[in-house]
Amino acid sequence: MNPVRVGLCGLGTVGGGTFNVLTRNADEIARRAGRPIVIEQVGARRDNPDCDTAGIKTTSDIFEVARNPNIDVLVELIGGYDVARELVMTAIENGKHVVTANKALIAVHGNEIFRAAHEKGVIVAFEAAVAGGIPVIKSLREGLAGNRIQWLAGIINGTGNYILTHMRDEGRAFDDVLAEAQALGYAEADPTFDVEGIDAAHKLTILASIAFGVPLQFDHAYTEGIARITFDDVEQADNLGYTIKHLGITRRSESGVELRVHPTLIPKERLLANVHGVKNAIAVMGDAVGPTLYYGAGAGAEPTASAVVADLLDVARNIATDHDYRVPYLAFSGIHDEANALPILPMEEIVTAYYLRLLAVDRPGVLARVATILSEQGISIEAIIQKEATEGELVPIILMTHRTREKHMNEAIRQLESLADVAGAVTRIRVESLDEQE
């Protein structure tokens, strides 16, 4: 049987890993695919000393690869938005199937890319775009296809999880652990995408689309980072029976779909609470199967390459199949009919519980005023801790509330921060039970 000929664009960390897995495991891959999968051409700005490209055509012009008539599948591993979009669209226009690990590309431009691919009858595969080597997209799109997905919550950025893990285990400050993560290569020199939740929001956007059959809507995702989390918060959460994790959460309700990334207190006994270091994990609740958990390496050369090559295998198996009979790109047919899709709920309409930390002047009546403000917004208090006064006679007050609507909490926090006896900003961290009975 004729081989599937691959054009590999990008020979960096993931590209190099993909190259090496494809060449090292060529015989095994051919047996699984039913035909050889060979690298026909590599497009990269620079060589990778860990990859032996002898005998393989190479070019610094990635668009040459996209137009090469001898290539069946283009593998896009260059990252970024604009050039990657142009490369993928060029490949599709030239009738090539596409495999990508680019979550930003899919989250922002995926609707356009999938429409073009459908018109051309080609496959776009993107398992490696979310959670590295964890096959969560395939599980959602195929393995759980008989379920109505109720909610999904995940640790989908290893850098943030590494920072929160070491803050908790070693009692260290955010900035200190971030510097260590950068020194170890877990965090970029500019860590904004990781610590502010943008990277996780890209991935969550993709997962939500597959889980609920809604168009990709990254611009409607709520993102909040972890830079304001202190060791005091980590310690208090622990004392209250919780762990702080930077979660992506999406949930379906009758009124719409939640799409949010933020620090979250979750009960210590939950499986996600025990995912540490740079590992990723995604919990999915289906109405038929109940709770399932997908755990593993969310980044790295060969874990991500594992997913890229698995996509190549799928393409090789499906390459002769009429595209009307393939699994839809985002699991549902007609997903681009935005008029009939569930809306993404604004954050003000989300209902959850809250952890609040504030500094107040140590004088009678302050706690009563705090309680009154919460009560007037219909917010009931589950637990309250008043610690010893700090320097300047300020008392840290920790509150745990019952579930309430975010807009009511926003107004309560506005009023609390306006009190003369409250110093500075109120720290607010959302609390989720992730109850497996929901």
**What single-letter amino acid sits at 65?**
V
Residue of 96, 138, 203, 245 marked catalytic: 203
From CA 153, how far away is CA 176, in angstroms rounded? 27
- Structural domains in the chain (count): 3
pLDDT tens by residue, the chain, 438 residues: 789 999 999 999 999 999 999 999 999 999 999 999 999 999 999 999 999 999 999 999 999 999 999 999 999 999 999 999 999 999 999 999 999 999 999 999 999 999 999 999 999 999 999 998 999 999 999 999 999 999 999 999 999 999 999 999 999 999 999 999 999 888 888 999 999 999 999 999 999 999 999 999 999 999 999 999 999 999 999 999 999 999 999 999 989 999 999 999 999 999 999 999 999 999 999 999 999 999 999 888 899 999 999 999 999 998 877 666 677 778 787 655 555 578 999 999 999 999 999 999 988 889 999 999 999 999 999 999 887 766 667 889 999 999 999 999 999 999 999 999 999 999 999 999 998 655
Q: What is the CATH number of the domain that holds 265?
A: 3.30.360.10
Q: Are 237 and 265 in contact (CB under 8 A)?
A: yes
Same domain, 163 and 288: yes
Q: Is 22 exposed, middle or buried (0-12, 13-18, 19+ CB in 10 A)?
A: buried
Q: In sequence order, which residues have a C-beta less than 8 Å from that of residue 179 and are 6 or more positions away? A: none
Confidence (pLDDT) at 438: 55
Residues 252 and 314 in one domain: no
Q: Which residue's entry shows tokens 């006994």?
A: 269
Q: Which residues contact 214 (CB under 8 A, 6 or more apart)?
A: 208, 257, 335, 341, 342, 344
Tell me whether residue 54 is in a domain: yes
Q: Is the same domain home to 147 and 244?
A: yes
In a domain, 208, yes or no: yes
Domain, as residue range, for 185 = 140-296
d(CA 180, CA 198): 21
> Does residue 261 sit in the same domain as residue 306?
no
- Looking up residue 41, the CATH number of its domain turns out to be 3.40.50.720
Give domain status of residue 276, yes or no: yes
- Of 296, 311, 327, the residue that ends a domain is 296
Q: Is 203 a catalytic residue?
A: yes
Residue 345 domain-assigned? no
Residues 183 and 259 in one domain: yes
Is residue 251 domain-shared with residue 163, that is, in the same domain? Answer: yes
Residues 147 and 288 in one domain: yes
Tell me what pLDDT residue 217 has: 95
Does one domain contain both 11 and 110?
Answer: yes
Q: What is the pTM of this model?
A: 0.94
Last residue of a domain, one of 296, 327, 361: 296
Residue 124 to residues 11, 392, 438, Cα–Cα distance (Å): 20, 60, 34
